[in-house]
Amino acid sequence: MIPAAFEYARASSVEEAAKLLNKYGEDAKVLAGGHSLIPLMRLRLAQPKALVDINGIKGLDHIKAEGSKLHIGALTRHVTIQNSAVVKDKLPILAEVAGEIGDNQVRNMGTIGGVVAHADAAGDYPTIALMLDAEIVTNQRTIAAKDFFKDLFTTPLAADEIVIEVVFPVANGPHKYIKFRRRLFDWAIVGAAAQKMNGGWRIGLTNVGPTPVRATAVEEALHKGAKPEEAAQHASDGLNPSGDLRASPEYKKHLARVLTKRAIEQAK
Amino acid sequence: MAVTTMVGAKIHRREDPKLITGHGSYVDDMQLTGMVHMAVVRSAQAHAKIVSVDLTAASKAPGVVAVYTARDFKKVISGGLPVTESLIADKKQTPNQFPIAESEAVYFGEPIAVVLAESRYQAADCAELVQVEYESLPVLVDFEKALEKGSPTAHTGAPDNVAWDVNFNGGDLEAAFKESEVTVKERIIQQRVFPISMEPRAVLANYVPFGNQLTVWTSSQVPHFIRLFLCIGLGMPESQIRVVAPDVGGGFGSKLRPYPEEYLAAAASKLSGRPVKWIEGRTENLQATSHGRGHIFDIEVGAKRDGTLLALKITMLSDLGAYIGVFGALQSSLAMLLSPGCYKWKAVHGRAIGVLTNKMSTDPYRGAGRPEAAHLVERAVDLVAQELKLDPADVRAKNFAEDFPFTSILGMVYDSGEYQKSLDKAKEIVGYKALRQKQADLRKQGKYLGIGLSTYVEICGVGPSAATAHVSGSLALVESSVVRVHPTGSVTVAVGTHSHGQGHATTFAQIAADALGLPYANIEIREGDTGDTPFGYGSYGSRSLPVGGVSINRSCQKVVDKAKKIAAHMLEAADEDVVFDQGQFYVKGSPDKRKAMGEVAFAAYGPGLPEGMEQGLEAVTYFDPPNFTWPFGAHICVVEVDPETGEVDIQKYVAVDDCGNIINPMIVDGQIHGGVAQGIGQALFEEAVHDPETGALRTGTLLDYSIPGIGEIPNLQLDRTITPSPTNELGVKGVGEAGTIAASAAVINAIVDALSPFGIKHVDMPASPDRLWKQIKQAREHSNGGKEARK
Amino acid sequence: MKHKVATTVNGHKHEHEVEPRLLLVHYLRDVVGLTGTHIGCDTSQCGSCTILVDGKAVKSCTMFAVQAEGRQLTTIEGMAKDGELHPLQQAFWDEHGLQCGYCTPGFIMAAAYLLDQNPNPTEDEIRKGLEGNLCRCTGYVNIVKSVQSAAKAMDGAKAKTSERSAAVGRS
């Protein structure tokens, strides 16, 4: 299928991109990896009037460890994160998550900034960002992950606001992300992440609601000394996932518990 | 000389060099001067009155060439799409399908208007501008409800939704149930699926008014059918229509019928005077290309305590969609006729009811009725085994048909078989006994291993005209071939089949090379172009080899017969004294004096032939097989089910198939691989889901509809037995669908076997984690929290 | 408004004015005239349209032609060199890794990228590496074999490393 016509502009700097977005207004979209946007455009479910291509902006694909922080440029492709020695050293769970997104072709194009800005409930990075208290840095401000993923496909980004980088804390203790899906390249039906950090656990869930979820009840139970199996029973506390063709709400809640247990047990 | 050892050899495919270098020629690869692009405006409602179609904006769109609706097409197309009776002669109603809707749309995606534009991008834009005003009508999605008294109808004004209601009975059912010591009942769902050939459909039609010539390139399995039906629909003689199915990116049954778009593109070319190209998008493909399966089976099985099968009662409801598929009834009839499987029964009674709904038609999909039959009877046998706590392999052994030709309880004559042999071989390869022990051990650890058997028999070689003509609307499903040996000994073989992955250019050349005693490299296979092949019935139903291949062999024999006469003349011997061996003719007893086929070919076009003989060396055959062929085999699938998540892990898959004699083992294995993968796809992943209210597809793209990828199909272990078919001189049976026919039952039987400790007796497809988890949970609640299961 | 796009496809330079919405796959097929790259879906699942962009496997249906400005593109037509098949092409032929052939160019290109990244993949790595490509004919069994066989052949021809890099578009 064929996308509707649009105007196209290449930005060579963040400032230029912002200017272009300002010019085109609400109907403009940022084009990064394009792997969420272009299929929607081909189905004509998205018909932006203009695309601002930010792929040519230099210096947005950095991976830098600074002190206790890991800075990842918005245009960093999944494949780069997956293979990065720095990420593997400082935040190995993120490299593993990157390696589980889509397929080789998708990972060669898709960017972390694109996934974060798209705010799909089935996105994997948002879960990690949320549970680790990452920060999303834009051309205008810095937004805490907990304030960023507001609703399905909904973020506080203004029309001319562009994600510049995502800043994670360094965490290289035991960790595990389990992405439960039918086929290797599918989106998560449910995902569960466990990361040991600062002596405690961080637990995150993917695709169990309109936004990523941090399972604080599980974290607290673990903190109080509960066994993984007991603590994981709280993974579905307060969840109200919507059902879809792949899973009923009840099954998603069940998976949240089972996968959380397994993620904690398998973390290393 | 190696010339007589081609049959049975692993010959690399000669069709591959172009395909692996990007030089294939699929329809969308072609461009014609002046070509315009067609886009189809489709119904956005599953059932609605079409109040108006406003073309104003579309007619002014950039690049637009024409916009047509049913009114325009009525000037050039008459009648409707064909519907074969397919063994169901006494239909209750067959709604006529004109290729484009005029006043009422009856399925989501039905064509309502057609736009032509200079580019495919402009055509897509233009199609969006056509404004259709609908008045919604009741939508029938649930086909069981559609049978209820007082149900709305799929077509306004129809008496009800019953397309057919027929019985297939053999034996005394009442007596057989009376004799039974156990009976089991089950409902088995065959979900609707999408065939999904990787190349969606595509048509390029070029009507040239001067000389009244129409050429249609179409991604089809049946170019001659398409020509025949276009000729009827457009009122043009065959001699003015040429249909070419060039490289075709898979079909799996979904391209064995004429489609509305073939009529519409051809008619649009006639109306506009321009070549018209239509390329189906995948989303469109899911809406507008025929769907497969779509049935509910209610079965009741009677058996003796020792496992002897006695009685099988089947009620089959089929979700036909709004229009009966061109071969839609075939699925019902084959499912019924093959339902006894490879077993001896005292009685099998089936009632098949075809139900009209507001959906796309169902039509054959790889196996067409046989996967359904195999699934139900293989499940039935396992249900009996489970009920009686017998090993399912033993129950099968007890009931296998043994003496061939074997007449099934429904009167079908199975040509040859050795069912126990293939099962034994499969058991040996998989290590059946050890696996059963392992299963018992693992159960103690709370792990659920399952072993699933599927010992299928199927029907190929469609078909003997005596059996098919009265049910196919007088089509004798024979196959044609022309073998022409040229003066220098090169050969053109033209055949009425079509290859879309099967490798006919290779295997048919192997047959001809052996039969003619000429080098393989000399043989050229022509198919797919009605302009240079004889009228033929195309490729489906695993028929190309047992009908088309045998036809080629016969044409070759005729050529050899004539060549022998010429050779005898050259050798100054009597015809009957001349021997033909490995491409050489010689007089019995004196093999030194010989004439090669090549020499004879040259002589055949020269002077000095036997008296009264004309020049030339060629022959035509229309092969009408005396019977169908009956491939069979045993598949064993080993799974482990995670009881916590319901995930299924296929640990092993063994397939022992018997398709009679083998022309090219590499290609046979490839067919089994692909077939099994599609069976696994249906068993675990695939289901076409419609919104129960609106009838719109919820699985509308490949994002929502999951066909298995490379991570989901395990390595398959193949082996074979060879039981030649007595039906034809090549001893071949056909193999295109066998894998699919066997696989879904093997997988589901394995899953049920794994979960039997929970008391689970049946699992429907697709066996998704969600579905299995729910079933395990319910079973645990019923059986004391799963303690039962861990005993 | 049309945009100028200059690309190098299989070593040949091309320059065209295109609409921004023109998908790269349509640019290759309809504008450049290389029809070996196929389209099998609308939603980036099937991988039939896989090509190499600067040596990386990409689904050309999920990229606009304007994004290919200045890039080196390799399509299936660029794999055979001087009349000699690329080892992957040879292996797909030898191992019966294709039937209808429609998905094959995409698989070969995805496999070329895979072997460039990992010259000796395990079976699991092959499956993981080709998860973005769908085939409906082969059940993937012989596709896995083809890639294994090509890896072996290419390993044997390690002396010609530079040639191989050129073939996957990294000249």
Q: What is the count of residue pairs from A and C with beta carbons less than 8 Å apart?
A: 89
- Rounded average pLDDT over A70-84: 98
Mean pLDDT (chain B, rounded): 95
Chain C: nearest CA to A111, how far in angstroms?
14
**Interface touch A251/B644, C-beta < 8 Å:** no
Neighbours of B285 (CB within 10 A): 23
**Given 3-state DSSP classes, what are the helix, strand and coil percentages for chain B, each rounded to the nearest 5?**
35, 25, 40
Question: Is B4 a residue whose pLDDT tops 80?
Answer: no
- Rounded average pLDDT over B616-640: 97
Residue C124 exposed, middle or buried by CB count within 10 Å (0-12, 13-18, 19+) = exposed
CA angle B534, B538, B544 (to 5 degrees): 100
- Rounded average pLDDT over B747-762: 98
Distance CA B85, CA A189 (A): 44
pLDDT band at B175 (very low <50, low <70, confident <90, very high): very high
Long-range contacts of B712-715 (CB under 8 A, 24+ apart): B712/A182, B712/A183, B712/A184, B712/B680, B712/B684, B712/B685, B713/B676, B713/B677, B713/B680, B713/C139, B713/C140, B713/C141, B714/B650, B714/B651, B714/B652, B714/B653, B715/B653, B715/C123, B715/C141, B715/C144
Distance CA B363, CA C125 (A): 38
Mean pLDDT (chain A, rounded): 97
Q: Give pLDDT, residue A47.
A: 96
**Interface touch A245/B120, C-beta < 8 Å:** no
- Rounded average pLDDT over B6-28: 96
- Rounded average pLDDT over B30-51: 98
Please report where in the chains the tokens 């479910």 appear, as a residue: A45
- Rounded average pLDDT over B261-272: 98
pLDDT band at B468 (very low <50, low <70, confident <90, very high): confident
A3 vs C contacts (CB less than 8 Å): 21, 23
By C-alpha distance, which of A211, A212, A218 is closest to A195? A218
pLDDT band at B285 (very low <50, low <70, confident <90, very high): very high
Q: Measured between CB atoms, does C43 come within 8 Å of chain B?
A: yes
Q: Give pLDDT, residue A1.
A: 86
Distance CA B687, CA B685 (A): 7
**Interface touch B711/C131, C-beta < 8 Å:** yes
pLDDT digits (tens, 9 = 90+) for B652-661: 999 999 999 9
Which residues make Cβ contacts (< 8 Å) with residue A160, sequence separation at least 6?
A18, A19, A21, A22
- Beta-bridged to residue B633, according to DSSP, are B456, B657
pLDDT digits (tens, 9 = 90+) for A142-171: 999 999 999 999 999 999 999 999 999 999
B707 vs C contacts (CB less than 8 Å): 134, 136
pLDDT band at B463 (very low <50, low <70, confident <90, very high): confident
Checking DSSP bridges between strand B292-303 and strand B48-54, what pairing results, if any? unpaired
- Rounded average pLDDT over B569-582: 95
Domains, chain C:
3-78 (3.10.20.30), 87-165 (1.10.150.120)
- Rounded average pLDDT over B319-323: 98
pLDDT band at B782 (very low <50, low <70, confident <90, very high): confident
Q: Which of A4, A5, A38 sits opposite C62 (nearest CB)?
A: A38
- Beta-bridged to residue C23, according to DSSP, are C64
Q: Tell me, what DSSP letter sits at residue B681? A: I
- Which of B81-95, B197-211, C49-63, C133-147 is predicted with the least confidence, judged by mean pLDDT? B81-95
pLDDT band at B86 (very low <50, low <70, confident <90, very high): low
- Rounded average pLDDT over B181-185: 98
Question: Is A130 a residue whose pLDDT tops 70?
Answer: yes
Q: Which of C30, C77, C134 sits opposite B198 (nearest CB)?
A: C134
Q: Give pLDDT, residue C127.
A: 97
Collapsing DSSP to helix, strand or coil, B345 comes out as: coil
A38 vs B contacts (CB less than 8 Å): none
Chain B neighbours, 3+ Cβ pairs < 8 A: A, C
Backbone angles phi, psi at C50, to 5 degrees: -65, 130
**Interface touch C3/A34, C-beta < 8 Å:** no
Question: Is C163 a residue whose pLDDT tops 80?
Answer: no
Q: Give pLDDT, residue B471.
A: 67
Q: Give pLDDT, residue B464.
A: 87
Q: Which C positions 80-119 lie with beta carbon below 8 A of chain B?
A: 80, 85, 89, 92-94, 96, 98-105, 108
pLDDT band at B200 (very low <50, low <70, confident <90, very high): very high
DSSP characters for chain A? --PPP-EEEE-SSHHHHHHHHHHHGGGEEEESS-TTHHHHHHTTS---SEEEE-TT-TT-S-EEEETTEEEEETT-BHHHHHH-HHHHHH-HHHHHHHHTSS-HHHHHH-BHHHHHHHT-TT-SHHHHHHHTT-EEEESS-EEEHHHH--BTTB-S--TT--EEEEEEE---SSEEEEEE-SSTTSPPSEEEEEEEETTEEEEEEESSSSS-EE-HHHHHHHHTT--HHHHHGGGGTT--PPP-SS--HHHHHHHHHHHHHHHHHH--
B205, B269 contact by CB (below 8 A)? yes
Distance CA B234, CA C19 (A): 38
Q: Give pLDDT, residue B2.
A: 40
Question: Which amino acid makes up residue C19?
Answer: E
Greatest alpha-carbon span in chain C: 51
**Interface touch C142/B673, C-beta < 8 Å:** yes
B281 vs C contacts (CB less than 8 Å): 42
CA angle B66, B71, B73 (to 5 degrees): 65
Q: Give pLDDT, residue B211.
A: 87
B245, B203 contact by CB (below 8 A)? no
Question: Is B26 a residue whose pLDDT tops 90?
Answer: yes
B531, B223 contact by CB (below 8 A)? no
Can you give the length of chain A in residues? 268
**Interface touch C20/A51, C-beta < 8 Å:** yes
Please report where in the chains the tokens 């049935």 appear, as a residue: B295
pLDDT band at C1 (very low <50, low <70, confident <90, very high): confident
pLDDT digits (tens, 9 = 90+) for C23-61: 999 999 999 999 999 999 999 999 999 999 999 999 999
- Which of A61-65, A183-187, B32-36, B278-282 is predicted with the least confidence, judged by mean pLDDT? A183-187
Q: Measured between CB atoms, does B120 come within 8 Å of chain C?
A: yes
**Interface touch A186/B706, C-beta < 8 Å:** yes
Question: Is C164 a residue whose pLDDT tops 80?
Answer: no
Q: Give pLDDT, residue C162.
A: 45
